[in-house]
Chain A
Amino acid sequence: MSEIDTSQAPMSPEEQKAFQARQKQRAVIMAGLLLFLCVLFYLITIVKIGAAS
């Protein structure tokens, strides 16, 4: 590859700040989704147990 692979180049302080902010945003959303799925699977289990008994 003749071009410099910029994705592997070191980040500038601004880029690092933006990168960490994006990481944090994704982590918060992922935590919310996992919590939602925990509640959903709990409810599905309760409904399935109720239907089976």
Chain B
Amino acid sequence: MTTASTTLHGLASAKDLFALTKPRVMSLVIFTALCGLLAAPGTIHPVLGFTAILAISLGAGASAALNQWYESDIDAVMKRTSQRPLPAGRMDRETALHFGIGLSVFSVVLMGVALNWFSAAFLAFSIFFYAVVYTIWLKRSTPQNIVIGGAAGAFPPAIGWAAVTGDVTLMPVLLFAIIFFWTPPHFWALALFVNSDYSKAGVPMMPVVAGRRSTRKQIFAYSLVLAVVAIAPFALGLAGSVYGISAIVLNIVFSSLSLKVAMSETFQPEDMEAEKRLFKFSILYLFALFFAVVADRLVMA
């Protein structure tokens, strides 16, 4: 419900506008974009490097705002999201739309003016992909929605790389692929043990549509593909031994935890230790792997 007392005559608070950008998600975007930027060959002035990360973060914030503008009906029926500014009635939808579009345009122009127009176009595409292809088009129509959403989250390191070099080579494509194949096991592990309201909201999430057994098998399958993609930079000579050893060790652990999930048959969330362990490790995995990319580059340099 939108009333004068909750929106203060259509004037949203700065805190709610900030919340619209999903700051917690943004921290991962900042980290991976920074890793892409630092791993790229060549140098970048710190002021321009900072501007690139700022533009990518603002672009991610804009995508989040547009996502919440479109999904306020879904957010309203799910407990986890019902207190977001739009479903809680602290902001009207028009404000969110204007804020999202304004921030999108500003982030792309900033990237183009300060860095290069290739990375700016790339950033614009990532916003379009998340807001239109994922949020508006596919999220409500396919159980593979999280796989497609993962692609949107996988753009930042490649954009960070493009900000330095002005192009995209095999290494940033692999960095993209790592996050792309990491997202489904990470998210589905969580979806298995957290009792979400996606079915109530009519969103076809994999555990709801295909069942727990199929989701568990898919988690393991994705972890194997992830291992291939994550070790590829070392195998192809694009990264050194620091990265190679880290990637091999991290993927052995990730795949074995995924295997335990695949073999698990429990239906009680409180007994899902394997899923909980995989979810926790998946966060550490991504941070450690991207840290290894940067550490390897520094050692090689």
Q: Do A and B bind?
A: yes
User: In the assembled complex, which residues on chain B have CB atoms less than 8 Å from the CB atom of A15?
Assistant: 4-5, 8-9
Overall SS of chain A's interface:
helix
A-B CB pair tally, cutoff 8 Å:
44
Residue of A7, A19, A26, A44 touching B48 (CB-CB under 8 A): A44
Residues of A6-40 at the interface with B, using a CB-CB cut-off of 8 Å, are: 6-7, 9, 11, 15, 18-19, 22-23, 25-26, 29, 40
**Residues A40 and B11 in contact, CB atoms below 8 Å apart:** no
Chain B residues with Cβ below 8 Å from A23 are: 11
Tell me whether A11 and B47 are in contact (CB under 8 A): no
What bracket does the count of chain A residues touching chain B fall in? 10 to 19
User: In the bound complex, how far is the Cα of B10 from the Cα of A23, in angstroms?
Assistant: 11
Q: Tell me the complex Cα distance, A18–B130, Å.
A: 35
The one of A18, A29, A43 in contact with B8, judged by C-beta atoms closer than 8 angstroms, is: A18
Are B5 and A47 neighbours in the complex by a CB distance under 8 Å?
A: no
- Check: A51 CB closer than 8 A to any chain B CB: yes
Q: Mark each residue of chain B from 107 to 121: 1 if its CB lies under 8 Å from any CB of chain A, else 0.
A: 000000110000000
Question: Could you tell me if B4 and A9 are in contact, using CB atoms closer than 8 angstroms?
Answer: yes
Whether A44 and B114, one on each chain, are in contact in the complex, defined by CB atoms closer than 8 angstroms, is yes
Residues on B with beta carbons closer than 8 Å to the beta carbon of A43: 47
Residue interface bits B1-38, CB-to-A below 8 A is 1, else 0:
01111011111011000000000000000000000000
Cβ of B51 within 8 Å of any chain A Cβ, yes or no, is yes
- Given A15-B8, A47-B45, A6 and B3 contact (CB-CB distance below 8 Å): yes
Nearest neighbor of B114 in chain A, beta-carbon distance: A44
Which of B4, B48, B113 is the one whose CB lies under 8 Å from A6?
B4
Q: Which residue of chain A has the shortest Cβ distance to B54 in the bound complex?
A: A40
Q: Cα distance A43–B49 when bound, in Å?
A: 12
- Contact partner, A11, options B2, B3, B4, B45, Cβ 8 Å: B4
- The answer to whether B47 touches A29 (Cβ under 8 A) is no
User: Taking A40-B51, A44-B114, A47-B47 as contacts, is the C-beta distance between A25 and B4 under 8 angstroms?
Assistant: no
Q: Which residues of A contact B48 (CB under 8 A)?
A: 44, 47
With A15-B4, A44-B48 as contacts: A7 and B13 at CB distance below 8 Å? no
- Contact assessment for A26 and B14 in the assembled complex, using a CB-CB cutoff below 8 Å: yes
* 25 residue pairs from A and B, CB less than 8 Å apart: A6-B3, A6-B4, A7-B3, A7-B4, A7-B9, A7-B10, A7-B92, A11-B4, A15-B5, A15-B9, A19-B11, A22-B8, A22-B11, A22-B13, A25-B13, A25-B14, A26-B13, A26-B14, A40-B51, A40-B54, A44-B48, A44-B51, A44-B113, A47-B47, A47-B48
Q: Which residues of B approach A to under 8 Å, CB–CB?
A: 2-5, 7-11, 13-14, 45, 47-48, 51, 54, 92, 113-114
Known pairs A22-B8, A26-B11 / 4 extra A-B pairs, C-beta < 8 Å:
A15-B8, A22-B13, A44-B48, A47-B45
Measured CB to CB, the residues of A under 8 A from B are: 6-7, 9, 11, 15, 18-19, 22-23, 25-26, 29, 40, 43-44, 47, 51
